[in-house]
Chain A
């Protein structure tokens, strides 16, 4: 009896969906995961090369393609390696086992005498003249995975665990045509969409003349219901017309978010769906000390460096779409449903875009191209959003209010913990919980999706990391899923984890202070989990943490810890900073236990990126509303600059464990909380609302 197959392999059991030996010396490996700039495809190639015993250079990786690659849903949630990578390992182990059996048959020997070196089959270490490619004709990979192939032990892996150079990076450094934005198809038309401001808004009037004047070249209008686009062969003209159209198309039934809606506190009085998880709420026993605090975080933008782009061609009843979205199969399903096509007539191919960090405009840009292409059969259509369009119309990560209530024992340790969360959904991905933006403007728009959030079995949305990992006898989450939001909200790196961990780890620091204990020692006193303790101890050691450092000097240090989703990687972060009018980050130390590491340098790159992105969220970022989304470019939505990033040191623990744990999003929460704790240490006062802007710091200091 074999162990159950890893989830993605169970869902895509045909082995020819994973591995192919197309020509002598060549291996094609297919994965449903896509390259979003994280080095996932390099890691997948390492996994396959190791498990198949072939050199990395033999491997060509294909990904995100509804015609061939496995359907692995989304590349999201730090799950690519933890789940997709394990599926790849098992698929390759099964393929290897089938070939070993065939080789044993040909060579008339037991498989125990056989080994494989760079694709060549050896018998008792000697050449046999057989390799994957001589045997390929006799091994049919159009069979189901069984899990019969024995995966190598972690300690036997050689390519896994090494710093293989990223496969995708050279093309980006030499300026090759590697991004979807660089794709050119013969006869291609450029397009810009004149965005419907909101669901239900209708076109009042169009000043075609003014738009054509701005174009300075030939353009055409394409209209379907309230979906209006401008197309032409010259991108410069189409871009100019698209920009001008913002001022020359009048809309009716427009709703715009207001400044009051910008703050998380606005969510407190909205309609909600109530959800409760964990231990029943206890009455406060007499004498128990009680702690309570409220935290907020505003709306954030993904703010991808490039606006979204999509290409589509509709010909002979078939729709082909090129996209940089996170899930080609879910996009295909959403396109089929919302454009009323058969899924079998849609082909979706992933092409790299800029980093997305979650659900940005990528799916919508692809749908825009598809909608226009269906009106212009035979013409390849390329839609590229304008910068302002991306900022205004990309789904935002929701504002959140998090209230923590804790009851303490005599020693000041928490015995009962309630994390109460107000948040709109983190899941309006097309097909999962939401719609494609362009489809809302079509004559028969899809209905409003019912209230939903990411399932707790999948890590949760607003509830993600809402439960402390610490040893607390009774813990619960009260989730008020706010069903009314001023803007479309969806998944951004870590979803609710950052605000939840910021709140919880701030509380832990405050509880430590109350108990008169050092924050590191206090954390260790409430967790028995050896891996949690190890990252906390290591981060503290890396930073040469000293208990009892004086507070209120203007320079401060803070620590925070989390295990992402309470089931992926463990991470502790120490931050050192100074505060004058603004916060200046000096140094960040991070210890992470992500279990089996495929590519250590790739992992460190991801952890560094997560630390810097989280620092940017915490210090600078909030989407402003003022008669609409008022954060529409890099001046109105500033992010951390080169001169503002801290030094970062990272250590990886336990890297030869058998099981990999997702690391892509783990640093966001601990970094945010460690910054907050360090600011409090530097100032001697707490700021519980994010971002920690200069205005907020000044206001807090004046109040004290």
Chain B
């Protein structure tokens, strides 16, 4: 018997009907809700490609069973911003051309968002530490960290205005 699970994704209430309550949130996002911006990397909670915010906290969702997120608020990279209304992080990543293959970026943007939510002026070391749960294999690390610094500065300037 399928069961219904209700939660919120990117500010929208959703209800999904699933046979297995163990279905990982990542599969629900990608295959049920069509939100493919959150990527599959390992299925082992090791690489960070599947990072989302759950009630504001960054979490890898590739093994997170759907039952555990019922009633919670999820933010994915699609909820950060869009080409028309980019988040300052997305603007900064474009400005810095921070990425190569880009497969890791959605997860990294989410980790960075979580960092900036709790620390408006992170040091380079704090940024590195916040991103250590995300793997980038192409070697765009320095650009990515520069972009996070730039976004933080832009957000501080925006808040001052």
B-to-A contact residues, CB < 8 Å? 19-20, 22-24, 27, 30-31, 35-44, 46-47, 49, 76-78, 80-83, 86, 90, 93-94, 97, 99-106, 109, 125, 127-129, 131-132, 134-145
A526 within 8 A of B: no
Q: Are B20 and A216 in contact (CB under 8 A)?
A: yes
Point out which of B37, B102, B134 has the most chain A C-beta atoms below 10 A from its C-beta. Answer: B102
- Given A175-B78, A236-B23, A642-B131, decide whether A634 and B137 contact each other with a Cβ distance below 8 A: no
Q: Are A165 and B101 in contact (CB under 8 A)?
A: no
Which residues on B sit within 8 Å (CB–CB) of A601? 97
**Those of A297-331 within 8 Å (CB) of chain B:** 303-307
Docked Cα-Cα span, A643 to B133, in Å, equals: 10
Closest residue of chain A to B43 (Cβ to Cβ) is A387
10 residue pairs A–B, Cβ–Cβ below 8 Å: A169-B94, A169-B99, A172-B103, A175-B77, A353-B101, A355-B101, A384-B40, A613-B137, A640-B141, A642-B131
Which residues on A sit within 8 Å (CB–CB) of B136? 305, 642
Q: Are B134 and A642 in contact (CB under 8 A)?
A: yes
Q: Are B97 and A605 in contact (CB under 8 A)?
A: yes
Q: Are B135 and A639 in contact (CB under 8 A)?
A: yes
Q: Are A177 and B141 in contact (CB under 8 A)?
A: no
Q: Mark A594-615, 1 if CB is under 8 A from B, else 0.
A: 0000000110011011111100
Q: Are A387 and B41 in contact (CB under 8 A)?
A: yes
Q: Are A173 and B36 in contact (CB under 8 A)?
A: no
Which residues on A sit within 8 Å (CB–CB) of B131? 642
Which residues on A sit within 8 Å (CB–CB) of B109? 173
Q: Are B37 and A642 in contact (CB under 8 A)?
A: no
Interface size on A, residues (CB 8 A): 63
Docked Cα-Cα span, A36 to B142, in Å, equals: 20
Closest residue of chain B to A632 (Cβ to Cβ) is B44
Q: Are A634 and B47 in contact (CB under 8 A)?
A: yes
Point out which of B40, B77, B86, B135 has the most chain A C-beta atoms below 10 A from its C-beta. Answer: B40
Which residues on B sit within 8 Å (CB–CB) of A14? none
Partner of A306, one of B20, B39, B81, B140: B39
Q: Are B135 and A609 in contact (CB under 8 A)?
A: no
Q: Are A643 and B128 in contact (CB under 8 A)?
A: yes
- Quote the shortest CB–CB distance from A500 to chain B (angstroms): 21
A166 within 8 A of B: yes
Which residues on B sit within 8 Å (CB–CB) of A602? 97
- Given A181-B40, A387-B44, A642-B131, decide whether A173 and B102 contact each other with a Cβ distance below 8 A: yes
Which residues on B sit within 8 Å (CB–CB) of A605? 97, 100, 140, 143
Q: Are B37 and A170 in contact (CB under 8 A)?
A: no
Which residues on B sit within 8 Å (CB–CB) of A386? 43
Which residues on B sit within 8 Å (CB–CB) of A608? 139-140, 142-143
Which residues on A sit within 8 Å (CB–CB) of B80? 175
- Given A173-B102, A235-B31, A642-B128, decide whether A354 and B137 contact each other with a Cβ distance below 8 A: yes
A687 within 8 A of B: no
Docked Cα-Cα span, A387 to B44, in Å, equals: 8
Q: Are A182 and B36 in contact (CB under 8 A)?
A: yes
* Chain A to chain B: the 6 pairs with minimum beta-carbon distance, closest first: A175-B37, A37-B101, A172-B102, A612-B139, A609-B139, A175-B77
A510 within 8 A of B: no
Q: Are A305 and B140 in contact (CB under 8 A)?
A: no
Partner of B132, one of A181, A305, A641: A641
Closest residue of chain B to A302 (Cβ to Cβ) is B137
A635 within 8 A of B: yes
Which residues on B sit within 8 Å (CB–CB) of A387? 41-44
- Quote the shortest CB–CB distance from A665 to chain B (angstroms): 13
Docked Cα-Cα span, A633 to B99, in Å, equals: 23
Q: Are B106 and A306 in contact (CB under 8 A)?
A: no
Which residues on A sit within 8 Å (CB–CB) of B43? 239, 386-387
Q: Are B101 and A36 in contact (CB under 8 A)?
A: yes
- Given A174-B78, A305-B41, A642-B128, decide whether A633 and B104 contact each other with a Cβ distance below 8 A: no
Docked Cα-Cα span, A428 to B74, in Å, equals: 44
Which residues on A sit within 8 Å (CB–CB) of B40? 181, 306-307, 384
Question: Can you add 17 more A-B contacts, CB < 8 Å, to A169-B99, A608-B143, A613-B137?
Answer: A170-B94, A172-B101, A172-B103, A172-B105, A174-B82, A175-B38, A175-B77, A175-B78, A177-B36, A181-B39, A234-B31, A305-B138, A610-B139, A612-B139, A640-B141, A642-B134, A643-B128
Partner of B99, one of A173, A612, A641: A173
Docked Cα-Cα span, A641 to B134, in Å, equals: 8
Partner of A179, one of B31, B39, B141: B39
Which residues on B sit within 8 Å (CB–CB) of A336? none
Docked Cα-Cα span, A352 to B106, in Å, equals: 16
Q: Mark A552-591, 1 if CB is under 8 A from B, else 0.
A: 0000000000000000000000000000000000000000
Q: Are B139 and A611 in contact (CB under 8 A)?
A: yes
A515 within 8 A of B: no
Q: Are A176 and B37 in contact (CB under 8 A)?
A: yes
Q: Are B134 and A216 in contact (CB under 8 A)?
A: no
Docked Cα-Cα span, A639 to B80, in Å, equals: 28
**Those of A348-398 within 8 Å (CB) of chain B:** 352-355, 357, 384, 386-387
Docked Cα-Cα span, A307 to B62, in Å, equals: 14
Q: Are B102 and A168 in contact (CB under 8 A)?
A: yes
Partner of B106, one of A175, A234, A236: A175
Partner of A609, one of B47, B93, B128, B138: B138
Q: Are B102 and A169 in contact (CB under 8 A)?
A: yes
Which residues on A sit within 8 Å (CB–CB) of B77? 174-175
Q: Are B83 and A174 in contact (CB under 8 A)?
A: yes
- Quote the shortest CB–CB distance from B109 to chain A (angstroms): 7
Which residues on A sit within 8 Å (CB–CB) of B24? 236
Docked Cα-Cα span, A169 to B38, in Å, equals: 15
Partner of A639, one of B81, B86, B105, B137: B137
Q: Are A633 and B42 in contact (CB under 8 A)?
A: yes
Q: Mark A151-178, 1 if CB is under 8 A from B, else 0.
A: 0000000000001011011111111111
- Quote the shortest CB–CB distance from A675 to chain B (angstroms): 14
Q: Are A303 and B137 in contact (CB under 8 A)?
A: yes
Partner of B94, one of A173, A634, A647: A173
Docked Cα-Cα span, A635 to B109, in Å, equals: 23
Which residues on B sit within 8 Å (CB–CB) of A355? 100-101, 103, 137-138
Docked Cα-Cα span, A608 to B134, in Å, equals: 18
